[in-house]
């Protein structure tokens, strides 16, 4: 009980947990109140004490929810996304493969991601050279796009990154591709985090995109394509599966030769 009563030498001691409220002699109490009134007072004191001292405080249910509860991870990177996002990594075939792509998307988001690990094992001096190669590769692809902005000296997952903004008109709508060119110096891997959105949703897209890019964690790995035998086998598999056009392979070899 919250209120304990001890009768000792005709004295009434009321104890609330370890705190003495008061002590008076029984004759004094009975002079003021008759026995029936005294019992009423005792029950009232018990009721008040049970309400004030024994009521458990309400728990704080305002727990912080994870704003990016959807997680994805492979052997090169991990990323987190808001609730409702989906991942398609059916074209991520492994670090010893020519084709490695991941799609991140949500029907309720103005932005979607196309992530690509490049296959050319060139030991670039820095991210600036890797970015120049990204611009050259876009030109070689023959796509009708325009480079409208460039931002250098940023990071993704702790690795140096440059951001290229490409504009592409599709069915009278302008789609912006915000391409994060990230260079992993320890493995000489270049990975593109392509953030896509319509130009009229630029501001809203940044809110989603920056949170997702900010969650990216990159791993230190050994690049198997730096071995000539692995590289040749990967190229042959890609050509046999019609995943990479021979013309593009020849252009890539030319660029690699010129870079050495």
**Closest CA relative to residue 154, chosen from 188, 117, 193:** 193
Where does 70-259 sit in CATH, by number?
A: 3.40.1000.10
pTM over 0.85: no
Residues of the chain with CATH 3.40.1000.10: 70-259
Of the candidates 150, 107, 118, the residue with the CA atom closest to the CA atom of residue 259 = 118
Lowest mean pLDDT of 92-101, 196-205, 249-258, name the range: 249-258
231 pLDDT band (50/70/90 cuts)? confident
Taking each helix axis from N to C terminus, what angle separates 228-240 and 246-259, rounded to the nearest 10 degrees? 160
pLDDT, residue 252, reads: 58
Residue 82 CA to chain centroid, in angstroms?
8
- How far separated are the first and last CA of the chain, in Å rounded? 85
Q: Which two structure tokens, joined as six digits, stand for 66?
A: 């994870």
Confidence of residue 180 (pLDDT cuts 50, 70, 90): very high
In degrees, rounded to 5, the angle at the alpha carbon of residue 232 between the alpha carbons of residues 227 and 236 is 150
CA dist 160 and 183 (Å) reads 6
Q: How far is CA 59 from CA 2, 53, 55, 63, in A?
A: 21, 16, 12, 10
Split at pLDDT 50, 70, 90, the class of 235 is confident
Rounded Cα gap, residues 233 and 135, in angstroms: 27
Strands (E), the chain: 3-8, 11-16, 19-25, 70-73, 77-81, 86-92, 100-105, 111-117, 146-156, 159-170, 173-184, 189-198, 217-218
The sheet that has 146-156: what strands, in order across it? 86-92, 100-105, 111-117, 189-198, 173-184, 159-170, 146-156
Q: What is the pLDDT of residue 189?
A: 94
Segment 170-193 shows an average pLDDT of 94
Residue 41 pLDDT > 50: no
């Amino acid at each position: 009980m919250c209120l304990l009563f001890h009768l000792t030498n005709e004295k009434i001691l009321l104890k609330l947990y370890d705190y003495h409220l008061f002590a008076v002699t029984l004759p004094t109490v009975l002079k003021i109140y008759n026995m029936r009134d005294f019992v009423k007072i005792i029950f009232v004191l018990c009721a008040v004490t049970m309400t004030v001292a024994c009521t458990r405080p309400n728990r704080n249910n305002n727990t912080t929810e994870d704003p990016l509860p959807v997680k994805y991870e492979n052997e090169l990177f991990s990323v987190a996304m808001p609730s409702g996002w989906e991942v398609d990594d059916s074209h991520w075939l492994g670090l010893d493969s020519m084709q490695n792509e991941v799609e991140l998307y949500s029907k309720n988001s103005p932005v979607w991601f196309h992530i690509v690990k490049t296959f050319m094992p060139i030991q670039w001096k820095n991210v600036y050279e890797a970015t120049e190669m990204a611009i050259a590769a876009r030109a070689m692809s023959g796509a009708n796009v325009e480079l409208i902005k460039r931002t250098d000296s940023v990071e993704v997952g702790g690795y140096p990154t440059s951001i290229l903004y490409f504009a592409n008109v599709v069915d009278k709508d302008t789609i912006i591709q915000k391409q994060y060119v990230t260079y992993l110096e320890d493995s000489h891997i270049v990975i593109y985090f392509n953030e896509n959105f319509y130009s009229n949703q630029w501001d809203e897209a940044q809110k989603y995109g920056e949170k997702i890019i900010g969650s990216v964690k990159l791993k230190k790995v050994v690049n198997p394509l730096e071995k000539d035998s692995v590289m040749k086998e990967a190229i042959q598999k890609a050509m046999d599966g019609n995943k990479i056009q021979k013309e593009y392979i020849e252009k890539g070899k030319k660029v690699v030769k010129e870079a050495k």
